[in-house]
Structure 1
Amino acid sequence: MKPLAQLCMFLLFSTVFALATLVPANLQCRCLFGDACWPIATQFSDLASQVSLPLIQPIPPASPCYRSLNSSTNCNDVHLNWADGNWRANQSGAMQSTNFETFIWPNGTIDACYFNTSLNVPCTQGSVPIIGVNAQTPSDVQAAVKFASAHNLRLIVKNTGHDYLGRSTAKDSFLIWIHNMKNITFHETFVPTGAPPTEVYNKTLTLGAGVQWYEAYDAAHSHNVVIVGGLSAGGSVGSSGGWFQGGGHSALSPSFGLGVDNVLELTVVTSTGEHLTANSHIHSDLFWALRGGGGGTYGIVTSVTYRTHPSTPITATFLSTTIISNVTGPSPILTKLFTELVRVTPNLSDSGWGGYTLFYPGTPGTSLALQILYITPNLNVSNSVANSSIQSFYDYAQQLATNSSMETGGLLNITAAVIIELDSFYAWETQYFRSSGQVGGNIELGSRLLPRNVIENDYEKVAKMLLPLPGLNYYLVAGGAVSRVNSSSTGLNPAWRKALVHTVFGGTWQEGASAQEIMQVGNTIKAGIANLHALAPDSGAYFNEASKFEPDPLNTFFGSHYKALKDIKLKYDPYELFIVSKGVGSEDWDEDLNCKV
């Protein structure tokens, strides 16, 4: 690999023919940087004349800390903001999970630009795209898409880089960066294009492709409404791309449905360069597919119009515990506590609760943290019913803590157990989710949607199977309103409509780990996935928080909708320009998604 500076100079000041391979471009393969087919400088200049801003040359986010490389970003900024999701979103070359910025060759060699410069590894481009368009308008997106189609480029679409399958980056590729398409429009009344005038929706929000959830929540709050959206540190997840196209879960989903259930209209640029409006009246098949059929697959969404809901007071609850254990694996007291939580999960769902349980089983002698962060807007049940359902679990936890000891399986300490009334969802979101963190490391995930009947039939088995999983999270983001939507109404995996819980686990590794060490983490994930499949064999997984190691990904992520989704993809993407890891149509391409198979 050439150092990053050499790559940039090569791109800017020479034609590719000087250093290109002599092998003719294979029409069955994408054109990559370094291939003879890669556009020359004058062709990129022509593209630059058609778009709003100069072309960008994405760089790995750690590159300013390497003295041989020049960058407008200061190394101190890198150190201060490495784990800040919004800072990363503002870097065209950054992903939220750093492993997707690297590239592992078949022989195990790793190309990367590490944060830890003391590793004495040269900073290289890794999997960061070479050049791209900083799109400001739909016409910018159209020009970039037409250019990528004309030159058969390996195309990448990126907003924030929140992606656990690496769909927002690829080695030697061409990038369309939609992060700065930030238009937000509030409509007192909204009639979808092509709909009869009687089909009126009150108080909707149209969000541009680059709007992040913290921006959308601020806009909704300013109009005294609530929008169903994602929750992450800093609110940095994008609102109008892969989040809803994969389904889009939220703590509000049990009350108001998933993201896909709240979308009223979309605008999208297809591989032919057309800018289409899609809703239930026009291009309804595309509208169906984009709501759950996976991001980066059918075109580039440039805006989304969401229904909103009245802002009302909510009940919020927060439980924080620590557990000290001297046994290997999950301690008996942790097992009892979590088993009870699984047992009461259906009742919590029926009482309107939605939210997140976060913990890690740990190792002997470790202080374990378990946190519950749930809310309910109290739409269909009274405050007293909701409070009673969660209070009974807290009473059980307090009894466990009172009777706990190292001799009986560990010490349980409850550091907080509160049930409070808040003015709005916005008050809860700004209090608990606006700090930075959560990103900037290497991680691989595994996950499964757990159907209600699986939990009700054998909650002890569910708890026993889940607890040993590393980095376990247990999300109460299904059931309720999610289960009341007809599974055929959107392209979303029907498994969501039977699910009660989305459970996620993961493995991490340090910078500089060898390919073999990274593979060992992958083997742990594979084993966990096998156990989850055995627990709920007829279910599926959430495409946005899932594993590249899924043995049957197309069925797992899309279920019985897969054939219809693929037919729609081929209709609107005849050039097969939009191919992403484990997405619809990916089975027709090699592992790197560069050549047809």
Structure 2
Amino acid sequence: MKRRDCLKAGLTLPLLPLVQKAAAATGPRPAAGLTRVRPGAAGWPGTSDWDQLSRAVGGRLSVPVSPFLGDAATRSEALAQLRNPFFIGDQPALTQTSGYHGAWLSRPSARVVSAANSADVAAAVNFARRHRLRLVVKGGGHSYHGTSCAPDSLLVWTRAMNQVELHDAFVAQGAAAGTAAQPAVSVGAGAMWIDAYNAVTTHGGRYVQGGGCTSVGVTGLVTGGGFGSFSKAFGTAAASLIEAEVVTADGRVRVVNADQEPDLFWALKGGCAGSFGVVTRMTLRTHALPDTFGGVSLKVRADSDESWHALVVETLRFCRDTLCNPHWGEQLRFGDERTLGVSMVFQGLSQDAAAAAWGPFVAWLAARPQYTLLDPLQALALPARHMWDADFFRRHAPHLIAEDTRPDAPRMRMLWKGDQSQVGWYLHGYASAWMPSGLLDDAQREAAATAICAAAAHMPVELHCNKGLFGAPADALAASRATATHPAVLDAFALALIGNAGGPAYAGSGGTVDEADAREGAARVQRAYQQLRTLLPAAPTYVSECDYFQRDWQQSFWGPNYPRLLAAKRRYDPEGLFVIHHGVGSEDWSADGFERRR
């Protein structure tokens, strides 16, 4: 399963005693047994209650219905747009992932508030709290764990809040005297990364650290501590957060930053906003734009297990010596039939310089007849300002992009062709682990290669080099260290990803889940992951791309940061209004978020 085709940890000690200590220090919690209400149950809001909410939000309250279950014309249009992430994102009843085997299916909420502003969000939050409703929040809707999806819930949908505003000299509200102004961009909660890149890079000539997939929501990626193709140069997306506007469980609209409510601000930088409130706007630091962006690709096959192992060892050595620096990002894919696929991107290099960097690796292959070059080295560079310029790609490389094909779609809506396979996918299994830089050392490289080869025998292993910050510059490391993301990311040279998925499984779409295939896919993922666990038995991982059933998730996602996150959760959401799967404080709730367990 390819995360994207092109252009696109250390160990920790058990921390449960620290988590328990932090929980005890934050005061009493509501008693176990608190339940939320479902449609038809006693306490579910009546018609007059819903009418009152509708008036409060300007009539933007409705019952979400999947277009695949609509009339013939509606369903026909939906089927034609089944692989269009922008269409899927425009449907309040749908999510970009259609489910995860043994875990969840994409199903609509009972009601949706299509929020236009923070006042709408506050009205929905207050309503849910008063009536004891399950509340979910959706912006981009890309969560692999279904955190923006819950049947019988009230959905706060922020899609319409997609404004983007550039600042030449931004100073956070209430900042300490002498705080320097800096270039920045303010982005509404419903904006996608293509909205941000179009404004900041294509038209503004600067760069904002965001996601590789252009239809991903800005808010979810930033608050999840997310990565983009060039994070090796600019740090995590959360590291660029200067300020956020957020509606907390008490219905207050707060503006938080390093000087105003710093604990909540810090929690939003990688702790997942869905556990703390509803972010309505965020302001991110922008960076000087490099001269160029570009990509490098090749594919090679080894003729035996012995030569395959040697190839993996050499690839890891080359990664250490050439790729662990701010210029490079994206992935190395160790696939079936002993094949290595390279889909790397670069910044700040010329096309010739990028190709030359790979010269020694290509020469190493050429000197050994046991390797067959299936796809020769290709390097391509372009002026950085055109990286997300849809018109540029329409003219020069239309084969690299897909588009929002609806007649009224904005012209700037493009996505990388390789990302289209993710639209609507039904995940069979998924697993990931941050790979600490020590594995690249001479003393450990052989063992690392052995584990990767053993894992790849079950399922392809992708090393996403941009999702580990080993080799990043000091300023990017410092900014990323000041987030809630697990500190293992700072020393990781890559995030290892293993996954398997089937096609869309939305009700009414015609897609069905092949249970036997899904079970086998999930089992293969786990067999592959277990091979990595022999090397890294307690490897931390990235909260947004990991196993739904992640063991010891508090440690795996946040490590030593979890006690501080839990304290912020107890302070700003003591009743647990905001519950997401494996989110901060979710251990207090049933899996569906409807009953307090402790």
Q: TM range, normalised to the smaller chain?
A: 0.7 to 0.9
> Which of 426, 430, 433 does residue 442 from structure 1 map onto?
426
Which of 216, 219, 222 is the matching residue for 1:237?
A: 216
Say if 1:532 and 1:152 are closer, same or farther in 2 by CA, change over 3 A.
farther
Aligned-partner Cα distance in 1 for 2:243–2:267:
13
Question: Counterparts in 2 of 1:70-219, with a 5 A limit?
Answer: 70=71, 74-99=74-99, 127-196=107-176, 198-219=178-199
Whole-angstrom distance in 2 between the partners of 1:360 and 1:48:
52
Native 8 Å contact 1:316 1:422 kept in 2? yes
Aligned partner of 2:68 among 62, 74, 84: 62
Matches of 1:391 and 1:425, distance apart in 2: 27
Distance 2:296 2:573 in 1: 46
Instruction: Please say if residues 136 and 180 of structure 1, whose CA atoms lie closer than 8 Å, have aligned partners that are also in contact.
Output: yes
TM-score by length of 1: 0.81
CA distance in 1, matches of 2:327, 2:580: 34
Higher relative contact order (CA 8 A, sep 6+): 2
Distance 1:348 1:452 in 2: 14
Distance in 2 between the 1:450 and 1:223 partners?
A: 36
* Alpha-carbon spacing, 1:334–1:555, altered in 2? closer, same or farther (3 Å): same
Shift of 1:333: 5.4
2:302 is aligned with 1:341:
no
Relative to structure 1, the CA distance from residue 485 to residue 528 in structure 2 (aligned partners, 3 Å threshold; closer, same or farther) is: farther
Structure 1, unaligned stretches of length 5 or more?
1-25, 65-69, 106-111, 113-125, 406-410
Using the TM superposition, give the Cα deviation of residue 78 of structure 1 relative to its aligned residue in structure 2, in angstroms: 2.3
Name which of 373, 381, 387 aligns with 1:427.
Answer: 387
Q: CA deviation at 1:383?
A: 8.9
1:481 shift after superposition:
3.4
**Superposition deviation, residue 384 in structure 1:** 8.3
Pairing 1:498–2:491 present: yes
- 1:225 equivalenced with 2:206 (yes/no): yes
Give the 3 Å change call, closer, same or farther, for CA 104–212 of structure 1 in structure 2. Answer: closer
Shift of 1:398: 4.2
The residue that corresponds to 1:591 in the other structure is 591
- 1:14 maps to which residue? none
Identity of aligned residues (%): 25
Q: In 2, Cα distance between the equivalents of 1:391 and 1:429?
A: 30
Is 1:303 the counterpart of 2:281? The answer is yes
- CA change 1:529–1:31 in 2 (3 A) is farther
Equivalent residues of 1:156, 1:173 under 8 A apart: yes
Q: Give SS of 1:565's match.
A: helix
Counterpart residue number, 2:248:
270
How far apart in 2 are the matches of 1:165 and 1:344?
Answer: 34
Q: CA RMSD in A?
A: 2.8
**Separation (CA, whole Å) in 1 of partners of 2:439 and 2:315:** 14
Q: Confirm or deny that 1:454 pairs with 2:433.
A: no
Answer whether contact 1:351 1:389 (CA < 8 A) is retained.
Answer: no
Q: Which amino acid aligns with 1:47?
A: L
Q: Letter of the aligned partner of 1:62 in structure 2?
A: F
Q: Aligned equivalents of 1:143 and 1:532: distance in 2?
A: 47
3-state SS of paired residue (1:484): helix
Q: Which amino acid in 2 is paired with 1:389?
A: A
Gaps of 5+ in 2: 1-31, 394-399, 402-414, 504-510
Q: Report how many residues are paired.
A: 525
TM-score w.r.t. the length of structure 2 is 0.81
Question: 2:308 and 2:45 mapped to 1: Cα distance?
Answer: 58
Q: 1:299-378 residue pairs with structure 2 within 5 A?
A: 299-314=277-292, 316-321=294-299, 323=301, 334-357=308-331, 359=333, 361-362=335-336, 370-377=341-348
**Secondary structure of the corresponding residue to residue 175 of structure 1:** strand
